[in-house]
């Protein structure tokens, strides 16, 4: 398939690292950074809008899947320019005067961040297509573990590492350093010789409307049942974990403690879980991994219920809190690796990027909805009842797997052998 498995896994880890960096900056570093420069809370709340390309990337996925240079590489034709565009965005951020962020500079920042997220989301479509087309069915488990781990490392750099670099290097030098880092992780893409699969399809015909492609995807025998799994599989985790940090704050833990536990221990556990899950998926079987890791993920939510009910001995009991956070991230990483592997199995080779993007968009949208209502639940019911409800929802979310299994689409079954 063009290169050794080790090289391909390294290539994918570099690309997913590039995608995780802007999200980590947006979700972890930027809120604290903006507040440090006296930006109002109302403006900080607006920042989440720049992540909209990730929710709507399915709209242009067919064009990314369809167009490209067969000689240079269909996916590389998109990935290389997107990496260059992301480097340019980082350099533009470096030229921005942070002292202007409380004024007009804030809106310039929003434009640059929107462009960087648009670029990263487009790169993601091409990368997912490259992953599906360049990996054999037996290689996808480990590859998805590497994918999740690479993305989380990128988030770590985009969040905690950027804040450290800003303190020691200053604003301009920090973003120049990050741009050079993106250049470094782009080298494997240049070295990779992309081999077009025999069923890649012609490049000269017009791409189909994304809604036509989505309808054709769901109309495959048994595929509706798989979509049901995607919708519900992470529902309990999304509903429960969204309130984990507010819980810790209300229990008396400081922002620094929460940041260290979630950003340090939690991130390390999530990376370990993704790699462990990716290693186990081909060894214990995809279905067993999906169901088993899903049940374990549900059980991890009981840890937050235990904390909410007074299980930890107050703010000084960091050991208990760290254990609960670590387990939730570890098991969440394992279940994500299993889900992503089966999502790859469901992709039609000529439309790999589009099919994977559509599945991922469904999962992201459902998680976003559950995140948005979780606060109302915790406020109305209290933390204890909220986390118990999340646990119950997570267990019920395993039922679609039992509905899907006897109806599993042929395209997925072929990858299991």
pLDDT single digits (tens) 339-398 = 999 998 998 877 887 888 889 888 878 887 887 788 888 888 888 999 999 999 999 999
Cα distance between residue 171 and residue 334, in whole Å: 36
Which of residues 154 and 398 earns the better pLDDT score? Answer: 398
Sign of torsion over alpha carbons 258, 261, 263, 267: negative
Question: Which CATH code is given to the segment(s) 1-207?
Answer: 1.20.1250.20
Size of the chain in residues: 417
What integer is the mean pLDDT of 109-121?
A: 92
- Largest Cα–Cα distance in the chain? 65
pLDDT single digits (tens) 177-187 = 989 999 998 99
Supply the pLDDT for residue 202: 47
User: With bands split at pLDDT 50, 70 and 90, how would you rate the model's confidence at 203?
Assistant: very low
Contact yes or no for 281/341 (Cβ under 8 A): yes
Residues 6+ apart with CB under 8 A from 332: 237, 241, 270, 273, 297, 300
Average pLDDT score over the chain? 85
Domains 1-207 and 210-417 share a fold: yes
The fold for domain 210-417 equals: Growth Hormone; Chain: A; (1.20.1250)
Model confidence at 334: pLDDT above 90: yes
Supply the pLDDT for residue 204: 42
Which of residues 405 and 258 earns the better pLDDT score? Answer: 405
Helix (H, G, I), strand (E, B) or coil at 311: coil
Percent of the chain whose pLDDT exceeds 70:
92
User: With bands split at pLDDT 50, 70 and 90, how would you rate the model's confidence at 417?
Assistant: low
In the chain, where the domains are located: 1-207, 210-417
What integer is the mean pLDDT of 31-59?
A: 78
pLDDT single digits (tens) 247-306 = 887 888 775 677 677 767 888 888 899 889 989 998 999 999 999 999 999 999 999 999
């Amino acid at each position: 398939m063009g290169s050794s498995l080790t090289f391909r896994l390294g290539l994918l880890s570099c690309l997913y690292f590039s995608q995780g960096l802007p999200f980590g900056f947006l979700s972890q570093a930027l809120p604290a950074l903006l507040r440090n420069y006296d930006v109002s809370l109302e403006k900080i709340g607006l920042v989440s809008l720049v992540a909209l390309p990730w929710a709507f990337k399915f709209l242009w996925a067919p064009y990314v899947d369809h167009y490209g240079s067969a000689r240079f590489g269909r996916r590389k034709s998109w990935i290389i320019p997107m990496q260059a565009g992301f480097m340019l965005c980082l350099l533009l951020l470096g030229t921005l005067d942070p002292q202007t962020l409380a004024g007009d500079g804030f809106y310039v920042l929003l434009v640059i961040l929107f462009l960087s997220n648009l670029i990263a989301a487009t790169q993601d479509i091409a990368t997912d297509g490259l992953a599906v087309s360049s990996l054999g069915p037996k290689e996808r488990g480990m590859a998805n573990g590497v994918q999740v781990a690479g993305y989380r490392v990128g988030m770590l750099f985009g969040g905690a590492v950027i804040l450290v670099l800003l303190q020691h290097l200053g604003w301009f030098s920090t973003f120049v350093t990050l741009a050079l880092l993106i250049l470094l992780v782009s080298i494997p893409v240049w070295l990779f010789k992309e081999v077009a699969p025999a069923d890649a399809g012609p490049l000269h015909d017009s791409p189909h409307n994304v809604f036509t492609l989505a309808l054709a995807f769901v109309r495959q025998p048994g595929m509706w049942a798989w979509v049901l799994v995607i919708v519900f599989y992470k529902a309990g985790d999304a509903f429960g974990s969204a309130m984990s940090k507010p819980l810790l704050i209300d229990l008396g833990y400081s922002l620094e403690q929460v940041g260290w536990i979630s950003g340090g221990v939690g991130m390390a556990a999530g990376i370990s879980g993704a790699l462990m899950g990716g290693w186990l998926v081909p060894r214990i079987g995809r279905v067993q991994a999906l169901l088993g890791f899903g049940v374990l993920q549900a059980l991890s939510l009981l840890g937050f219920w235990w904390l909410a009910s007074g299980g930890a001995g107050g703010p000084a009991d960091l050991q208990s809190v760290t254990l609960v956070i670590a387990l939730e991230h570890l098991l969440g990483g394992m279940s994500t690796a299993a889900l992503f592997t089966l999502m790859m199995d469901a992709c039609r080779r000529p439309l790999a990027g589009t099919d994977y993007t559509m599945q991922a968009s469904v999962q992201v949208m459902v998680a976003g909805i559950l995140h948005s209502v979780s606060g109302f639940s915790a406020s109305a019911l209290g933390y204890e009842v909220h986390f118990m409800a999340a646990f119950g929802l997570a267990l019920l979310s395993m039922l679609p797997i039992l509905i899907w299994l006897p109806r599993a689409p042929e395209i997925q079954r072929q990858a299991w052998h």
